[in-house]
Chain A
Amino acid sequence: MKFKTGLAAIAGVLPASLVAIVLFLTVYSWPAIRFNGFHFLVSNHWNLGNLYADPVTVAGTQVAPGAHYGILFLIVGTLLTTLVALLIALPVGVGAAIFLAEAVPGRLRLWLSFLVELLAAVPSVVFGLWGYVVVIPFLGQHLFPFLSRIFGFVPFFAGPSGSGYGLLTSGFVLSLMIVPLIVATLRDAMVSQPPAIREAVTALGATRFEVVAKVILPSLFRVLVGATILAVGRALGETMAVLMVSGNALNYLPHNIYAPISTMAAFIVSQLDSAMQDPTGMAVRSLAEIALMLSLLSLLINFLARLVLAIENRSARHATIV
């Protein structure tokens, strides 16, 4: 009994650190939350104010004169990059999982899976380096001008096609970072489907691809949704790669898919240096508010994914009993 209590106490460091992070962020950013109010989320204007003038007192807190913190452009940037990443990662991930599970023979499947899953192990900053050195020149000079010329009639595809830094580039790099999660989850689920289903559908006269596309894949819909939500969670919080390829736009909403953007996570890194110059500390506290928003968003996503997967587990257990 004593041993269990001791172990429980040491184990408590893990939950304690999470609670500490969230509590601390809330307490620390509280003055900023009160100062910024609801404008924080809907205003498109991040301005540290005049840092060299004497601080003024607004609503009981000291701030630099002219300071205004609004992060609408960051929320839009974060959601849009995630959306673009998802639009690329989902079809590619599902396709790759299908081919890996159904068409690649044993030994080769192991190594190709390893290569695809290695994408998840590549450090964010190395993705950034690759994006900066290889992807941006290629996209900016070749693919984007081509896309804007050919698909200019599609909304948001028209030029100017920019320099290569921006929404589509960030979305592409992010999609490679989240796709292994989708591939691995889906492939494992497909491989562990009972062979009887496959045999039955084949006996009914389906081609091999029809078995996969019309029976196996639809039956794994919830698994796919769960994996996708987790992937969204990862994309929202990615920092370094986005920081290096997004163009770090400030107070600017993208007008097409090539436009520079910034995300909440990348913004914290790129702005902390200048925020520290604020003698009133309100800028750093406002960054803490961004971090808090970002954490709450990931928590929400995480719970959503668990909910979907929990329902999946329950229905799966139900199916085996019946």
Chain B
Amino acid sequence: MSHANEAFRLTAAPPPVPRVPRFPLRRRIFSIAGWTTTALALILLTAAMLGILEMVFVRGIGALVPATFTTITQGTGGGLLNAIEGTFVLSFGALLLAVPFGMAAGIYISEYRNGWWAKTIRLLADVLVGVPSIVVGYVGYVTMVDWLGWNFSVAAGAISLAVMSLPYICRTTEMALQQVPGDLREAAFALGAGESQVIFRICLPAALRAILTGILLALAVSVGETAPLLYTAGWSNYLWDGKMTHSPVGYLTYAIWTFISEPFASAHQLAYAAAFLVMALVLLVHLAARLVFDRHRR
């Protein structure tokens, strides 16, 4: 018997494997063409971003020298100390102004979210994001620089930047607070806490990391802004003299814009160095934010 079995095993054809039907040629070509073009689109965008990073960092490294950080701009040469200082003063000044008001607005629209005032603020915050930055700068010029007579100054520049970053801080604060579970609020209220205690002692600490990340992102936006500052902060080759009004101040993005169109190599070096510094900060902030939000997600 076993003998016959053996023979059977050797001679019989293996059971037929059902063949997966292939898609008709036309549909296969459609698919292949589709994946190829979408891949090309992604490659184009990635290449553009890498191209920008490559230009900024390769040329920027070549342009950075110790003198960039230690000397002020002289004509079309020298260093960028004045611009670095100015960018810090303007950006942090803007944050100091925008954080309290922006966070207050964010807290309000998160915690009292269904009232008409909250809805109005939320709507206008979204509209304010859409107002072109040059419009903010222009209004800053006409009101503060011209009408109030502050001239080009830190105050006018920082206030213009602050108006730009208000809606960012507002909406990130709102989003961060919305991540805090409602149970936490109910538990606190049940223990007899008042509204202010629930917000300041419970919700804000729980949302702190996300809010700080949002503020950091707003800072990166401020550092990269040019248009709102052109006619409010002006430009200066000298270090800031500490006056809030009546004295212009330099900043990095202005150096990029103005020095690249000068015909001198030394000016181009300044523009590349400034671009390097701005992009390095933007990149660091966004990497940090990505890491924070990744941890959140996991």
Contact = CB atoms under 8 A, between A and B. Distances in A.
Contact of B132 (A127, A239, A243, A306): A239
Given A124-B224, A302-B127, A134 B55 contact: yes
B253 interface: yes
Interface residues of A, number: 82
A233 B166 CA distance: 19
A301 interface: yes
B130 A123 contact: no
Interface stretch (B41-49, B66-74, B176-184, B237-245): B41-49
B196 to A, nearest CB: 4
A10 B100 contact: yes
A17 interface: yes
Contacts of A268: 134-135, 138
A110 B294 contact: yes
B227 A126 contact: no
A114 interface: yes
A130 B47 CA distance: 13
Contact of B109 (A10, A11, A243): A11
Given A8-B117, A294-B135, A116 B46 contact: yes
A121 interface: yes
B39 interface: yes
A234 B290 CA distance: 23
B271 A14 contact: no
Contacts of B139: 21, 24-25, 291
A58 interface: no
B163 A124 contact: no
* Chain A interface helix/strand/loop/mixed: helix
Interface string B27-56: 110110011011111101110111110011
B233 to A, nearest CB: 14
Interface stretch (B5-13, B78-86, B118-126, B202-210): B118-126
B136 interface: yes
A11 B108 contact: yes
Contact of A123 (B108, B141, B282): B282
Task: Sort chain B's interface into a size bin.
Answer: 35 or more
A8 B108 contact: yes
A4 B261 CA distance: 52
Contact of A287 (B125, B138, B256): B138
Contacts of A239: 132-134, 226-227
A300 B132 CA distance: 13
A19 B163 CA distance: 12
Contact of A116 (B49, B223, B261): B49
Interface in A167-189: 176, 179, 183
Nearest to B195: A3
Nearest to A9: B104
Given A100-B42, A284-B142, A269 B227 contact: yes
A17 B257 CA distance: 28
A207 interface: yes
Contacts of A94: 41
B94 interface: no
Interface in B91-105: 100-102, 104-105
B167 interface: yes
Interface string A158-170: 0000000000000
Given A11-B121, A122-B282, A265 B45 contact: no
A213 interface: yes
B49 A96 contact: no
A14 B128 contact: yes
A15 B124 contact: yes
Given A11-B121, A298-B132, A299-B130, A121 B31 contact: no
B38 A14 contact: no
A129 interface: yes
B38 A18 contact: no
A115 B227 contact: no
Contacts of A100: 42
Given A8-B117, A116-B46, A176-B45, A272 B282 contact: no
A126 B104 contact: no
A217 to B, nearest CB: 11
Interface in A208-248: 208-210, 212-213, 230, 233-234, 236-240, 243-244
Contact of A14 (B167, B194, B290): B167
Contacts of A208: 31
Contacts of B107: 7, 11
B191 interface: no
Contact of B135 (A96, A99, A179, A237): A237
Nearest to A230: B130
B170 interface: yes
A287 B231 CA distance: 13
Nearest to A207: B31
Interface in A235-289: 236-240, 243-244, 265, 268-269, 272, 284, 287-288
A125 B59 CA distance: 16
A80 B119 CA distance: 35
A110 B297 CA distance: 12
Contact of A21 (B28, B136, B196, B226): B136
A95 interface: yes
Given A126-B279, A294-B135, 12 more contacts: A8-B117, A25-B135, A92-B41, A119-B45, A123-B282, A126-B275, A130-B52, A179-B45, A183-B45, A210-B31, A239-B227, A265-B132
Q: Which 5 A-B pairs have the closest CB atoms?
A: A237-B132, A123-B224, A95-B41, A11-B105, A10-B104
